[in-house]
Amino acid sequence: MPSLLIYGSYGFVGDLIAREATDRGLDPILAGRDGDQLREQVDDLEQPGRRFALEDPEIVADALEDIDCVLNCAGPFSNTAAPLVEGCLRSGTDYVDITGEIPVIESIEDRDDEATEAGITLLPAAALSTVPMDCLAAHLAERLPAATHLALGVDSFRVPSVGTVRTVLEGADTGGAVRRDGRIEGVPTAWRTREIDFGRGTRPAVTMPMGDISTAHYTTGIPNVEMYAVMPQPARLALKSHRYLAPLFESMPIRWALKRLAGIREGPSKRARQRGSAYVWGEARTGDGERVVSRLRTPDPYVVTTDAAVTVAERVLEGGVENGFQTPAGAFGPEFVFELDDVAGFFDESTPDETSPVSPLLQ
């Protein structure tokens, strides 16, 4: 049976994924650098464990020598992706992760040639933050092959997990990002607010530096991409205030204190996850104003992330995925999202409402 190693398996999201992989009979090897947390999870799930840190590439490669696929759940991925990808290249192991960090995805794409030569697949961003939106982007590109501009967004505000909070804090000083003419361009945090109908009424959403800025471009070839997320008014104000408070976030004592506070909070309860949902929206445009809009509805973000990560890992373990850097929809097509439980769509608009303000990138 092909072997799957889950690195960071004892974090909140990692544990959800490890339990799902175990329930599906994948017999995952649980892994991470914290021996105490790892031993506790190994005893609980009755799965094998493997403790190793990521500082030494040779140690990482040795730890992966007998592994067919690594599923990286240990954020911030800016700290963990590079050493695990290097270990996978040296050991001939396929790599999957759940990052939503643009620089991480870009750095993995940079190793496409090496991965192709090594005969392995590198497939980052197998989570809610990308899989539904990447598949929606591919669907929109099929509807409008001449599209030059793409906007994607998600409406699902909920309490983040500890790992998510820490990832945000690690990148707190990076600001926002869009893709313009094929290149990533920095913009202020919460650069633009746009009224969008995600499928349950029009709501204000702000530009966010989400991983789809990278993956949607590589999947579709569309050169101009923006990402939006619905935020309540206090959160929007806080994001915009970050432009002026960035020096405060750069202070190591402030970062340390915020991370300590983040560690107090667990993720949402099982009941909350069962009741949650997300609404995903996408719009493609041509230079002469032709426009198409489509939507998806999914379960709770944590439910989708768990399902998507394990399903992607299963597909990679089965073989048949091309070597090199891949995106979810690039590897499996736009219909892949419907392999996930309780995803509904695509809801296509034949005559999209033109009353929603259009971003400067989409004009």
pLDDT tens readout for residues 246-256: 454 444 454 44
Please give the Cα distance from 19 to 125 (Å, whole number): 19
Helix axes 162-170, 77-91, angle to 10 degrees: 100
Which one, of 107, 105, 310, lies nearest residue 225 by Cα?
105
Indicate if the pLDDT at residue 103 is higher than 50.
yes
Please give the Cα distance from 37 to 70 (Å, whole number): 19
Give me the mean pLDDT over the 333-347 stretch. Answer: 97
Alpha helices in 24-98 (DSSP H): 35-45, 57-63, 77-91
Stretch(es) of the chain classified as CATH 3.40.50.720: 4-127+303-338
CATH of 131-301+340-362, one of 3.40.50.720, 3.30.360.10, 3.40.50.300, 3.30.70.420: 3.30.360.10
pTM of the model as a whole? 0.88
User: Reduced to 3 states, what is the DSSP secondary structure of residue 41?
Assistant: helix
Residue 182, exposed/middle/buried by CB under 10 A (0-12, 13-18, 19+)? exposed
Stretch(es) of the chain classified as CATH 3.30.360.10: 131-301+340-362
Q: Which fold has domain 4-127+303-338?
A: Rossmann fold (3.40.50)
Helices (H) and strands (E) in the chain, counts: 14, 16
Indicate if the pLDDT at residue 303 is higher than 70.
yes
Lowest mean pLDDT among 123-132, 165-174, 285-294: 165-174
Indicate if the pLDDT at residue 10 is higher than 90.
yes
Which one, of 263, 267, 304, 297, lies nearest residue 280 by Cα?
297
Round the average pLDDT of the chain to a whole number and report it: 87
pLDDT digits (tens, 9 = 90+) for 89-100: 999 999 999 999
The contacts of residue 112 (CB under 8 Å, 6+ apart) are 122, 324, 325
The whole-angstrom distance between residue 255's C-alpha and the CA centroid of its chain comes to 23
Q: With the C-alpha atoms ordered 296, 291, 230, 81, is the resulting torsion angle positive or negative?
A: positive
Which one, of 305, 308, 313, lies nearest residue 70 by Cα?
313
Please give the Cα distance from 167 to 337 (Å, whole number): 25
